Amino acid sequence: MDEMKDESRLYAETKQINQFIRRFNGEEDEKGERYYATDKQYRNLKLRKKYLEILFDRSNTGISNDLKTQFVKDVLEKKEPPILDFHGGNWFAEVQATFNANGKDQPITLFMELEKHHLGTRWTIYKVHADMYNDSFKRDTVVVGKFLHPMSHELDFMNLRKAFLNKDSVTQYVSKKFTPDHLSVFLYESKKGSIKYKSVEQVKFHFFQIPGWYFELAEFNRPGYNNGWLISNLVKLSAPGDEAILRRYVHHEN
């Protein structure tokens, strides 16, 4: 604290995810002191508007001022203005980490969500994405003639042997609908000891809690007042299927 020459900068910075949620909801004052349901300022709309206007990454020109204004208006002018709920679901973490796989550093993304556990909650890994797994399971659409004859059942599938003669051609005999489950492969490789955790490189959070909207939360460590945990991406969900499409995009699913 002695090194902080300007206290207002400390107050302006959103230092923790919980603080971001409290500010979004209007549940703390400018100095970080919490408001409770019995306090007059608790979830005050003027206070919420003040906070919502500073909770965006101002360096991101991809989020237009019109879109920000529409978002703030949509949040605050509802009959029951929506709030963020830490235990409310519909938000998750994206953790970009580095693992050592067979002597080579590889990026692996872990998707994590809160799960009820006894009387409390805990963070759990529910999805994984790794480009190196995509390469392993990629179907070769160029090769022609790799298939099992439709009458193979009459031969008790004895011709399966040709599917396993070459390890690189096995995927040619898999259903076109097959999608590799990266989490299962990741757990198998971890248990086998072929991948080892090294470090976390970046963390982001994805929120779908506000009806009709999605936003991404990222941490910015830079000089000035616009730093800490800020909204780094904002999307209005107009059509009924928009949320499902966006979730698949975030999860790297085709």
Rounded CA-CA distance 56/91 in Å is: 18
The DSSP result for 5-30, as a single string, is S-HHHHHHSB-SHHHHHHHHHT-B-T
Q: What is the pLDDT of residue 161?
A: 87
Q: What percent of the chain has pLDDT over 70?
A: 93
Confidence of residue 140 (pLDDT cuts 50, 70, 90): low
Q: What is the pLDDT of residue 1?
A: 45
According to DSSP, residue 56 is labeled B
CA angle at 251 for the pair 84 and 72, rounded to the nearest 5°? 30
**Is the pLDDT assigned to residue 11 strictly greater than 70?**
no
Q: What is the pLDDT of residue 154?
A: 86
pLDDT digit string (tens) for 155-189?
Answer: 898 988 888 887 777 878 888 888 889 999 999 99
CA angle at 28 for the pair 26 and 29, rounded to the nearest 5°? 105
pLDDT digit string (tens) for 33-81?
Answer: 999 999 999 999 999 999 999 999 999 999 999 999 999 999 999 999 9
Q: What is the pLDDT of residue 58?
A: 93
**Is the pLDDT assigned to residue 84 strictly greater than 50?**
yes
Where is pLDDT greater, at 213 or 178?
213
On average, the pLDDT of the chain sits at: 90
Rounded CA-CA distance 48/101 in Å is: 46
Rounded CA-CA distance 184/190 in Å is: 10
According to DSSP, residue 71 is labeled H
Query: What is the average per-residue pLDDT within 117-137?
Result: 91
- Per-residue buried b or exposed e for 215-228, using 16+ beta carbons within 10 Å of the residue's own CB: bbbbbbeeeeebbb
According to DSSP, residue 226 is labeled S
Lowest-confidence range among 31-35, 82-86, 211-215? 31-35
Lowest-confidence range among 5-19, 43-57, 136-150? 136-150
Q: What is the pLDDT of residue 167?
A: 76
Instruction: Write down the pTM of the prediction.
Output: 0.88
Query: What is the average per-residue pLDDT within 98-114?
Result: 96
